[in-house]
Amino acid sequence: MTQHVQGAQVVARIALLLRLVGRNPAGTPLAEIVRDSGLTRPTVHRLLSSLAAEGLLDHDAVRRTWHYGPEVFVMGTVAAARYPIEELARPSLVRLAEETGESAFLSIRRGAETVCLLREEGSFPIRSFVLHEGVRFPLGVASAGLAILAYLPDTEVDALLGDTVSADTDADAFAARWGPQHSPASIRANLERTRETGYAVNPGLILEGSWGMGAAIFDRSGRPGWALSLTGIEPRFKPERQKVLGQLLLDEASRITQTLQRPPIN
């Protein structure tokens, strides 16, 4: 029993480190991984080195950053065939980017977080770089997470908002990381607005001047599992344009949802 617990703990730590490394495509420094993992520096370095020896990670000795290794690429390529959402979403991202000029994204829910999977650049020359492939946010912090969280059952929302606070041990620590604008009360108010319109709006809550909007995509059981979003600078998201952008997001999200909910062909 003790060995089982220890083994599970090691697996959990490895999974956590892999997620932390994958947050930044440009590479993640050791100090940041140590800080966000809550593990000691020797433990983190030992586990990262072991993962690198297996090809799951790479270490850039010049920049002193850690990156996903070739084995992760191979695993992702094999797994992609089981999750066709990217293939279904790409045309919608292209249409959104072309029609709006903004950057369009697909994000997936993973537990209490969203992970950005795909990005399609728009034609407008000034862009927001808060969102990129691989970046993770707690549910309720970015527009994609708000769009998903708004359509989960109330009991699940209550549990997730509680976890969101406790993940950093207390509300003060969470506010220090994401700002007081992401208090549970503020998130709940944004969820209400999202339910009224159908789409979420992030009015520069992560980075001042960088706005986002999102709409949820639902799986066959009717649960929100993904979201489409648009990001850009504040002047591009005036109230009158929000309605236009919101409807475009809802239309494309509905298109993907309908495809996902079709009965499988035998």
Chain-centroid distance of CA 14 in Å reads: 20
Collapsing DSSP to helix, strand or coil, 23 comes out as coil
| Contacts with 195 (C-beta within 8 Å, 6 or more apart), sequence order | 150, 151
Q: Are 21 and 37 in contact (CB under 8 A)?
A: no
Report pLDDT digits (tens) over 146-172: 999 999 999 999 888 875 554 444 556
pLDDT classification of 80: cutoffs 50, 70, 90: low
How many CA atoms are closer than 13 Å to the CA of 254, on its beta-carbon side?
A: 8
Q: Are 60 and 70 in contact (CB under 8 A)?
A: no
Indicate the pTM of the whole model: 0.74
pLDDT of 258 > 80? The answer is yes
Flag the least confident range among 164-173, 200-209, 222-231: 164-173
Q: Compute φ and ψ for 78, nearest 5 degrees.
A: -65, -45
| Contacts with 258 (C-beta within 8 Å, 6 or more apart), sequence order | none
